[in-house]
Copies of this chain bind each other. A is one copy, B any other.
Amino acid sequence: MDTRFTGVIPPVITPFTASGDVDYEDLDKIIDHLIDGGMHGLFVLGSSGEVAYLTDAERDEIVKRTVARAAGRVPVLAGAIDTTAKRVIEHAKRAEALGADGIVATCPFYAINDEEEFAAHFRAIAAAVSIPVFAYDVPVRLGGKKLSRDLLVRLGTEDVIAGVKDSSGDDVGFRRLVAANEKAGHPLALLSGHELMVDGMLLLGADGFVPGYGNVEPRPYREMWDASREGDWTRVRDIQDRIAAHFETVFAVKGRSGDATGIGAFKTAMVELGIIKANHMAFPIKPLEGANKDAVVAIMKEEGLI
């Protein structure tokens, strides 16, 4: 296992200006905020980074700026998110050239493929770059497509992928993946995206985790990680419970789309905490405002965050 990619590696959100451009100044601030918060790595151009809304030019600039700002303090993973291998490879090569330390890629989407085609897909991507490739398992965005345990361990054993970013929410599947990975000699770094169940995921053997809410509060996630290394599971659980209470800011948003709700609540909280200037979202998403913004703020106050 590549130990550079363990611990807490949040999916970095992308700040925008009112006109819909990426706010690179605020991006720098977020990067510092996360590294200062104890994060072990950064994952840019993920779903929480609104990657699907970004042009190639914007994606490139984000990788470039993040690599520059991180300046070797922590490794930088970059999403190479597109429908199929040929297109993913174009993104992956550019990210590698711009200094990313690793690539994160999903199985094909829009396309309708089977597991053998998934395997060929990841093999082609891995062969096209010389940095590690992580498989990104995110059924909720891919019409339910799930990467199987057997496929992942096979690709790990063959040195095709270096790890998995598991956003499937399938905890039993993750437990079985951890066990099979162990049996195979632990080739894969298994990162859980199950950010309200980090206690349980660490208890069963996750090598790290990728918490979207970590953009708002990195420090407690790091504390969870540290407590888990000491085997202090009661403390891990208590921190997770506290984060879960704060995370109710997301569930408080009503009547908005999935991306507007989750990422929108993170950004709104980050503005309140003074991390970024504005909660603008990628076009065509409007930022949270009115009752929804108030609901986020109310919970933050109730929880003593502001």
Contacts and interface: CB of A to CB of B under 8 A. Distances in A.
Interface of A: 47, 50, 52-55, 81, 83-87, 90, 108-114, 117, 120-121, 124, 140-144, 169, 171-172, 175-176, 179, 194, 196-197, 199-201, 203-204, 231, 233-234, 237, 240-241, 244-245, 251, 256-260, 282-285
A118 B259 CA distance: 13
A216 to B, nearest CB: 17
A231 B234 contact: yes
A84 B111 CA distance: 16
Contacts of A285: 113, 117
- Copy count, this protein chain: 4
Name the residue in A47, A85, A285 with the highest tally of chain B Cβ atoms < 10 Å from its Cβ.
A285
A233 B203 contact: yes
Nearest to A199: B203
A200 B171 contact: yes
Q: Which of A121, A203, A231 has the largest count of B CB atoms less than 10 A from its CB? A: A203
Contacts of A284: 84-85, 113, 117, 120-121, 124
A111 B259 contact: yes
Given A121-B284, A143-B143, A204 B237 contact: yes
Contact of A172 (B169, B237, B260): B169
B258 A112 contact: yes
A110 B285 CA distance: 14
Contact of A141 (B55, B112, B179): B112
A109 B110 contact: yes
Contacts of A234: 231, 233
A257 B121 CA distance: 14
